[in-house]
């Protein structure tokens, strides 16, 4: 049976990113923006407390993602994955770097889980910028999966620069907001 794959994106995310967002000059500017998406995802009830964005070398927003696992009933739609898919569709290529010619940042409100860590090198982004640590996500019950101890070094070896703890406390506040508001922790298979 033919089954096209359709990803439902919350309407508010279109509104939020429909204006021309340009010149996010610093990691903090970019992080603040993706944190605002994560916060809005909680308030709108469309998913977990995670936001991500891909920015070009001029600091322009190329794509945005939030966690829409429950919204789509699909376990892999983490914020980073949604941002990566969206950028690749928009740019019309599976290698965001266009053969290494262009530099893009993936900015994520929380360090990537095991799955998203795996997706980063395949995406073609050149820098990964993280807010909260995976320990912060685990602290409210999210399973980050079996990640390598030296995951940052492994990305660096592939010429992907990793920057962590950017606006970490703001990003952690969002995780706690979600936990305190009784948000679902949607690990599968009874893993909690
Ligand atoms: Zn993930």
CB-based contacts of 31-36 (< 8 A; 24+ apart in sequence): 31/107, 31/109, 31/129, 31/131, 31/166, 31/167, 31/170, 31/171, 32/167, 32/170, 33/61, 33/107, 34/64, 34/79, 34/107, 34/108, 34/109, 34/131, 35/109, 35/131, 35/167, 35/170, 35/171, 35/174
Q: Which residue did the predictor score with more confidence, 17 or 141?
A: 141
pTM of the model: 0.94
Catalytic residue among 16, 28, 80, 111: 80
Q: How confident is the model at residue 16 (pLDDT cuts 50, 70, 90)?
A: confident
What does the alpha-carbon distance between residue 139 and residue 111 come to, in Å, rounded to a whole number?
Answer: 13
Confidence at residue 181, expressed as pLDDT on a 0 to 100 scale: 86
Q: Tell me: the pLDDT tens digits for 49-66?
A: 999 999 999 999 999 999
Q: What percent of the chain has pLDDT over 70?
A: 94
Q: Tell me: the pLDDT tens digits for 36-50?
A: 999 999 999 999 999
Residues with CB under 5 A from ligand 1 (ion): 78, 113, 115-116
Task: Judge whether 80 counts as a catalytic residue.
Answer: yes
- Would the pLDDT of 121 be above 80? yes
CA of 79 to the centre of ligand 1 (A): 7
- Would the pLDDT of 22 be above 80? no
- DSSP 8-state assignment for residue 13: H
- Would the pLDDT of 190 be above 60? no
Q: How confident is the model at residue 20 (pLDDT cuts 50, 70, 90)?
A: low
- Would the pLDDT of 134 be above 80? yes
Does residue 159 come out as left (phi exceeding 0), alpha (psi in the -120 to 50 range) or beta?
Answer: left
The three-class DSSP label of residue 51 is strand
């Amino acid at each position: 049976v033919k089954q096209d794959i359709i990803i439902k994106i919350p309407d508010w995310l279109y509104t939020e990113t429909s204006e021309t967002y340009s010149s996010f000059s610093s990691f903090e500017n970019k992080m603040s923006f993706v944190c605002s998406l994560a916060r809005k995802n909680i308030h709108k009830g469309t998913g977990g407390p995670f936001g991500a964005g891909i920015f070009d070398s001029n600091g322009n927003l190329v794509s945005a993602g939030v966690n829409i696992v429950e919204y789509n009933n699909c376990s892999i739609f983490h914020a980073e994955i949604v941002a990566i898919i969206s950028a690749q569709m928009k740019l019309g290529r599976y290698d965001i770097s266009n053969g290494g010619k262009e530099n893009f940042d993936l900015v994520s409100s929380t360090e990537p889980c095991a799955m998203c860590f795996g997706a980063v090198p395949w995406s073609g982004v050149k820098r990964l910028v993280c807010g909260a640590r995976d320990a912060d996500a685990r602290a409210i019950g999210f399973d980050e999966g079996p990640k390598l101890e030296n995951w940052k070094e492994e990305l660096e070896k592939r010429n992907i620069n990793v920057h962590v703890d950017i606006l970490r406390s703001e990003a952690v506040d969002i995780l706690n907001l979600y936990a305190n508001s009784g948000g679902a922790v949607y690990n599968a298979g009874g893993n909690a």
